[in-house]
Amino acid sequence: MIRIGTSGWSYDHWTGVLYPPRTPPGRRLAVYAAEFDTVELNASFYRWPRDSTFAGWRQRLPDGFTMSVKAHRGLTHFRRLTGPEPWVERFRRCWDALGDRAEALLVQLHPDFERGQHDGLERLDHFLTVMPDHIPVAVEIRHPSWDAPEVFRLLERHGAGYVVMSGAGLRCIPRATGRLVYIRLHGPDQHSRYHGSYPEHELRRWADRIRSWQDEGRDVDVYFNNDLGGYAVRNARTLRRLLGDDRATVVPGEKRVSEVGRPADGGSADRVPDADRLRRSGRGDHRGRRGAAGCGPAGPGDQHRPPQQ
């Protein structure tokens, strides 16, 4: 199965692109879910939602809609995977609460976290070992020291996905290590991260890659993270069309959305903190990025391996 969505949904600047004017923040996920069938929850990286919030989404989101959840920075950035057991229990409760709305757990390693630093590979191995088997894990690696055969073998052994990244000079290695291929598109290389629109010819190349992974029997999740200007929504629509998905788009102003998506505790659960929105200006860590446009060659070894059973 191929699922295409965006990283987050509660953005004021999507008004007129996806959301009708004056759409309350608490209704945005309902509008989003009327058009897309998956979303990546980013706010969980900053503040982990209550179990009741996850359970509320399970009850209110439409059948067939799924949510990927980004692991909290307390585990990935502060502790750098040390002593993961308390967080593993939170992830288990999250999956129990979301039920069939749960898609994958995104584990983004700190960009300064080197593979040889503090037994990094052993920490990742231990984390994946203690994770429940029913929770699909996708690991986003930012530091280039992790691009090594032993890392890919480790992910394959655990059936974990390697996050394929693209945009703003991030290293793009089209590698598949598990049954799920998890793709995050942060914006074209010529723009700062989270800015700009992917040209259609580049999205056509992504469509070809996605079809090849699907032909291998893999599931593919694609999340656009170039939210500024609403380009994530526009690019997701284009990629969906290129893959033959001709479902209707939501036209702002149309009344065709059911009462779904409001978190159980109210409010907008995916609003990114203001400090991080300032970071979206493109001032960030630039180490280990690729400068060339598009997606580079595969990492060590053959990226077209059979899926883990």
Task: Output the DSSP codes for 131-151.
Answer: S-TTS-EEEE--SGGG-SHHH
Half-sphere exposure of 124 (CA within 13 A, CB side): 30
Per the domain annotation, does 250 fall within a domain?
A: yes
Distance (Å, whole) CA 151 – CA 227: 30
Count of structural domains within the chain: 1
Domain that holds residue 227: 2-279
Helices 85-98 & 51-60 angle (0-180, nearest 10): 30
Q: Supply the pLDDT for residue 293.
A: 41
Per the domain annotation, does 305 fall within a domain?
A: no
- CATH number for the domain that contains residue 37: 3.20.20.410
The first and second tokens of residue 24, run together, are 């309350």
Distance (Å, whole) CA 163 – CA 206: 14
Polymer length of the chain: 309
Per the domain annotation, does 286 fall within a domain?
A: no
Q: For 285-296, b where at least 16 C-beta lie within 10 A, e where not — what string? A: eeebbbeeeebe
User: What residues of the chain score a pLDDT lower than 70?
Assistant: 168, 191-193, 247-309
Per the domain annotation, does 287 fall within a domain?
A: no
Per the domain annotation, does 301 fall within a domain?
A: no
Q: Supply the pLDDT for residue 82.
A: 87
Helix (H) or strand (E) holding 92: helix 85-98
Per the domain annotation, does 260 fall within a domain?
A: yes
Per the domain annotation, does 309 fall within a domain?
A: no
Distance (Å, whole) CA 223 – CA 232: 8
Q: Supply the pLDDT for residue 252.
A: 61
Per the domain annotation, does 198 fall within a domain?
A: yes
Distance (Å, whole) CA 92 – CA 88: 6
